[in-house]
Structure 1
Amino acid sequence: MNRTILAIVVVLVVLGALYFWQQPPPQTLTPAPEPARSIQEAEPPAPEYPVPEPSSALDAGDGGGMEPPPGAAPAPGPEPAPPLPALGESDPLAAQALQTVFTAGDALGLFNIDGFIRRLVVTVDNLPRTRLPLKQLAVQTAPERFLVRAGAGEDEYFIRPENYRRYIPHVRLLESLDTATFAGLYIRYYPLFQAAYEELGYPDAYFNDRLVEVIDHLLATPEVSDPIRLARPHVLYQYADPELEALSAGQKTLIRIGPDNARRVKVKLREIRARLTRLEIE
C-alpha cells in the first residue's frame, strides 16, 4: 500500500471515529415501535378531483330519506347498471359511447377504436410531453398533407392558411360533444380509465386529476397569429421561434391547427373542465 492510499485510509478512519465519538452513548433500552403514522404516510394521496361511484350516488338519492307509509309497497328503485367489461374487452362499449356523446360527424371514423380506452389514456398523458406516441393515438391524424409556403429568406417557410381546413372535422366533432351526457358516461366508465392509467405506471395517481391537469396545460397555450414561421433543418418542419418549438406536443398541435380552430377548441376544453371538476350524478 503506497503512502497516498495509506493517508486516505487514515483520514477515513479518523472521520469515522469522530462521527461515533460525537454521537450520544448507546442506550440499552428496547427501541419503541414505529408510530402508526408511518403507515398512514405511505398511503396514496386523495384525489384532487374525485369521481363519484355511480351505484353509491344512486343509492344515496333513494327517496330523499323518507319512509313509505305503512302497508305501501316500496317504490321500485333504478335497475342496477350491468357490470363493466374487462379493459381488454371494452372496445364495443367505447364505440357505443362515442356515438352517444358526439352529435355531429362520423365519430367512429375519426377515432382509433382498437384499444380505444388505453389509447385515450396514453394520448392524454403524453400531450404535455415533447412527443406523442403516434402508433398509440386515440384520434386519426388529419387527412391530406401539411401545407406550407416558402418565404423570401433561406430556410424560411410559413404555414399556409388553407392548411387549417384539414382540422375542421376534428374541431366540429369536439364542439358537438354533449358535455352532460359525457359526464354521466365518464362516471360510469371511469374504472376502466383508471385501470388503463394504472397500467401506465401510476398506481397511486388518479386519471381524472391528470386529465384536468392536461386541460389546464392546453389552455395555457400561447395565442399565435398568422403568419406562423417555420424552419426545416432536417426532413421535418419545426417552428422557427425557439420558444414555440420548446412547447409541448399538445401545445404545438393547438398552434398548428390555426388561431381560429385553437380558440374554438379552448372554449370546449373550458366547458369540459368545468364538468370534470364538479362531477355528479344527474
Structure 2
Amino acid sequence: MSESGSEHPQKAKPSRSHLLLAATVVVALGIVLIFVLSKQDETKQDNAKYAQDVVEQQPQYTEHINTAQTKPVVQEPAEAPETVEIPASANRNEIPIEVAPATPSEPELPSLDNSDEVVKQTVAEIMTEKALALIVSDDMVRRGVVFVENLAKGQIAEKHMPVKKPQEPFMALEDDIVITDPNSFERYTPYVDMLSSMSTAQIVRMLNKFQPLIAQAYEEIGYDGNDFNGTLDKAISELLSTPIPKNNVPLIKDSVTYRYAYPEWEQLSEAQKQFLRMGPENMERVKQRLSALQKSLAQ
C-alpha cells in the first residue's frame, strides 16, 4: 500500500497528497467516540406480582386472664385519634400541600436525520472553536459509525471522514535515502490536541447520551446495533497495535507515490500506515488516550 497516494516527490519541498492522512484517521476515531454506544445502568424495579402476594401480618389482641381474681381483666379499647375537621367555609386552595420535587429527565433525542445540531452543541461544550473547525459537521453520527466500522477492518472510509484533512501537504526529504520530513508531523498536532483535550469521563458521558442514535446508524448498514461496542474496541485495538518507529523509516519512490522500504512496515494495514505518518510523538500521545478509553469502556 502506498504511503501517500498520489503525492509528487520534491526534494525538501512539499508535494500534494490526495490520500487520507493518519491524523484524520486517529482523530476521527476520537470524534466518533462522542457518538459511540455505551453500557447503560439498569434500574432495579420491585416485583409487582411479588408485592401483591405478600400479606402484611396484622396485630392480634389476646385476652389476658388474671388467675388471682374471680373477674377477668378486660383491656379497654385504645382511644381513636383526634380528627380535625376543616370548616366548610374555609378555602381549600389555601391549605398547604407538600409536593415532592420532580426528578429532572434527559431531553429526548432528535431523529437521526435531524441530530447534527444537538451533536454539535454537545461537542462544543468541551471543545474550542479552533478544534470545532476541524470537524465535518454534516451527517455526523452516520459518518462516524461507518468510519469506525471500516477502521476496525484496517480500512479507511474516504467518503465518511468525520474530520477535515490538514491543509498543509505531505513533505519528504530525498537524499541518500528518502524519509518523511519531520516538519510534516506538525500538521497532525492540532488533531492530537483536540483528542487529548477531551477527558475519558467526558467522552463516556457523551457515549451514554447518543447511544440510541449510534445503534440506529449501525443497524442501517446491516448490523445489530448492540454489536457496535465490539466494533469500536476492534478499531481502537487496530491503532494500538501499530508499532511506533524509533528511527526514520525509509521510503521508496514508486512513480508518483511513496511506499515503505521495509516489508514489515509496508505490510501493515492501510489505517496503520496512515497512523505512522503522524510521527512518533503524536502516535504516543494518541495511544495513551485510546488505551485509557478502551479500559474505561470495558468496565
Q: CA deviation at 1:96?
A: 1.1
* TM-score normalized with structure 1 length: 0.69
- 2:86 match: none
- 2:239 match: 218
Q: In the alignment, which of 78, 83, 91 is matched to residue 108 of structure 2? A: 83
- 1:112 match: 136
- 1:263 match: 284
Between the aligned partners of 2:202 and 2:247, the Cα distance in structure 1 is: 36
Q: In the alignment, which of 151, 161, 171 is matched to residue 137 of structure 1? A: 161
Change in Cα spacing, 1:73 to 1:270, as seen in structure 2 (3 Å) is farther
* TM-score normalized with structure 2 length: 0.65
**What is the percent sequence identity of the aligned residues?**
33
- Which amino acid in structure 1 is aligned with residue 270 of structure 2? A
Is residue 178 of structure 2 the alignment partner of residue 157 of structure 1? yes
Q: CA deviation at 1:247?
A: 1.4
- 2:227 match: 206
Is residue 221 of structure 2 the alignment partner of residue 233 of structure 1? no
Between the aligned partners of 1:73 and 1:181, the Cα distance in structure 2 is: 37
Between the aligned partners of 1:75 and 1:246, the Cα distance in structure 2 is: 64
What CA deviation, in whole Å up to 9, does each residue of 1:96-141 have, x standing for no partner?
1211233x56232111110111111111111243541222110111
**Residues 127 and 248 of structure 1 are in contact (CA less than 8 Å); yes or no, is this contact kept in structure 2?**
no
Q: CA deviation at 1:219?
A: 0.9
Q: CA deviation at 1:142?
A: 1.7
Stretches of structure 1 that go unaligned for 5 or more consecutive residues are 1-48, 61-71
Between the aligned partners of 1:81 and 1:176, the Cα distance in structure 2 is: 25
- Which amino acid in structure 2 is aligned with residue 165 of structure 1? E
- Which amino acid in structure 2 is aligned with residue 87 of structure 1? L
**Residues 105 and 173 of structure 1 are in contact (CA less than 8 Å); yes or no, is this contact kept in structure 2?**
no
**Residues 128 and 250 of structure 1 are in contact (CA less than 8 Å); yes or no, is this contact kept in structure 2?**
no
- Which amino acid in structure 1 is aligned with residue 142 of structure 2? R
Q: CA deviation at 1:192?
A: 0.8
Q: CA deviation at 1:75?
A: 4.3
**RMSD of equivalent CA atoms:** 2.4
**Residues 40 and 208 of structure 2 are in contact (CA less than 8 Å); yes or no, is this contact kept in structure 1?**
yes
- RCO (CA 8 Å, sep 6+): is it higher in 1 or 2? 2
Is residue 86 of structure 2 the alignment partner of residue 98 of structure 1? no
- Which amino acid in structure 2 is aligned with residue 52 of structure 1? Q
Between the aligned partners of 1:216 and 1:118, the Cα distance in structure 2 is: 21
**Residues 112 and 140 of structure 1 are in contact (CA less than 8 Å); yes or no, is this contact kept in structure 2?**
yes
List 4+ stretches of structure 1 deviating above 3 A.
72-75, 128-131
Q: Give the number of the structure whose alpha-carbon radius of gyration is greater.
A: 2
Q: CA deviation at 1:259?
A: 0.4
- 2:264 match: 243
Stretches of structure 2 that go unaligned for 5 or more consecutive residues are 1-36, 46-96
**Residues 154 and 238 of structure 2 are in contact (CA less than 8 Å); yes or no, is this contact kept in structure 1?**
no
- Which amino acid in structure 1 is aligned with residue 208 of structure 2? I
Secondary structure of 1:106's partner?
helix
- 2:189 match: 168
Change in Cα spacing, 1:194 to 1:150, as seen in structure 2 (3 Å) is same
Between the aligned partners of 1:157 and 1:132, the Cα distance in structure 2 is: 25
